[in-house]
Chains A and B, each alone.
Chain A
Amino acid sequence: YVLTQPPSVSVAPGQTAILTCGGSNIGARGVHWYQQKPGQAPVLVISYNIDRPSGIPERFSGSNSGNTATLTISRVEAGDEAVYYCQLWDRHTDHWLFGGGTKLTVL
């Protein structure tokens, strides 16, 4: 099973960033999203498609349907610039899979 993310997305401050994660019938699975800033460990920002951990701004939201899971960042700020990874657990193989990551650039 492969998770496909676009390498880069650019957005102006205040606009909405839409980051995608593609996979076969991924809508049937629980997808998680991580934010990784340079030199830092990743941080979980969305779990099980839509759940936001404590401390994550409401500007971060997720959805998952069909062959695409989506992380949406509203009112983008300079501090949101990071690489974002999608991830899921493949119960058929007991493997934990990551997408290749999308670098979000705030113009």
Chain B
Amino acid sequence: EVQLVATGGGLIQPGGSLRLSCAVSGFIVNDKYISWVRQAPGKGLEWVSIFYSGGATYYADSVRGRFTISRDSSNNTVSLQMNSLRVEDSAFYYCVGGEGSSYFDYWGQGTLVTVSS
């Protein structure tokens, strides 16, 4: 059974940093495309970043230069380092796996990030 468990969310002040982690079971992270997708409470879905199985990474314009996605093959995890956080970064952050690069097959339960003073 495929599971993606995201942890690391919490309350952080504007300008602060937070690191989200996604523990994956049921497949090897090196073999799939792993993304972070966020959703502000009551709002729609927004893609944040993706780590290709081949190693390439991509970011949404709204987070490029502030967020960094990384992969730890030894622990089968993917992380999202979030720096210079803004109020508008507040959202549930879903860790998502894809068989292909175009869409999202497997969704975790999400972790809530709240950026507020």
- Point out residues on A near B: beta carbons under 8 Å: 30, 32, 34, 36, 41-44, 47-48, 53, 85, 87-89, 94-101
Contact = CB atoms under 8 A, between A and B. Distances in A.
Contacts of A99: 44
B58 interface: yes
B103 to A, nearest CB: 4
Given A41-B94, A95-B58, A95-B60, A100 B44 contact: yes
**Overall SS of chain A's interface:** strand
* 3 closest Cβ pairs, A-B complex: A96-B47, A41-B107, A32-B103
Interface of B: 35, 44-47, 50, 58, 60-61, 94, 101-105, 107-110
Contact of B102 (A30, A34, A85): A30
B108 A41 contact: yes
B47 A98 contact: yes
B108 A85 contact: no
Nearest to A30: B102
A44 B104 contact: yes
Contacts, number: 53
B107 A87 contact: no
A101 B43 CA distance: 9
A83 B107 CA distance: 16
B58 to A, nearest CB: 5
Contacts of A101: 44-45
Contacts of A47: 102-103
B102 A41 contact: no
Contacts of A89: 101-103
B110 A87 contact: no
A101 B107 CA distance: 17
Nearest to A85: B45
A57 to B, nearest CB: 17
Contact of A94 (B45, B46, B58): B58
Given A30-B102, A89-B101, A96-B35, A43 B107 contact: yes
